[in-house]
Amino acid sequence: MSSYNKETKNPKTGEWEAAYWEDNHFGLHAYGVSFPSDPRNFIDPLKVSLETRESVLPEKPKVDRIKQLRDIVAIQCSPGNYDYDEYMWGMANGLILALAIIENNETEYIDKPEKFINQK
């Protein structure tokens, strides 16, 4: 068993939401369900009856998501972003790593600048 998202009717609001079904929340393979409208509150589906349905929104093709990530990497790796401070440099390299993993490519990190913009 594992955790997953599934369209679930929120018993408090009656609205359909992409609820997070977390495995092992209430014990071994005992799911806890949280809703985006109240992410810190977990409901035990063994105690509260929850209605689920297949998603009514078509999932975006993965190619679009990879293109979005490439665009985000390009922005983050541009001058003025990655070289602003150490945090932004680390974020750029983290995004580069994520894209390399998804595309099954070698990772080509950005070298640390000699001096960050916020230090000048």
pLDDT digit string (tens) for 7-20?
999 999 999 999 99
In the prediction, which pLDDT does 8 show? 94
Q: What is the mean pLDDT of residues 44-55?
A: 91
- Amino acid, single-letter form, for residue 8: T
Token code pair at residue 2: 């594992």
**pTM of structure:** 0.51
Is the confidence at residue 51, as pLDDT, over 90? yes
Q: Supply the Cα-derived Rg of the chain in whole angstroms.
A: 20
Rounded to whole angstroms, how far apart are CA atoms 97 and 21? Answer: 28
Rounded to whole angstroms, how far apart are CA atoms 110 and 120? Answer: 20
Taking every pair of Cα atoms in the chain, the longest distance, rounded to a whole number of angstroms, is: 59
Per-residue pLDDT band for 24 (boundaries 50, 70, 90) equals confident
DSSP assignment of 41-71 equals EEE-TTTS---EE--SSPPPPHHHHHHHHHH
Segments making up each domain of the chain, as ranges: 4-53, 62-119
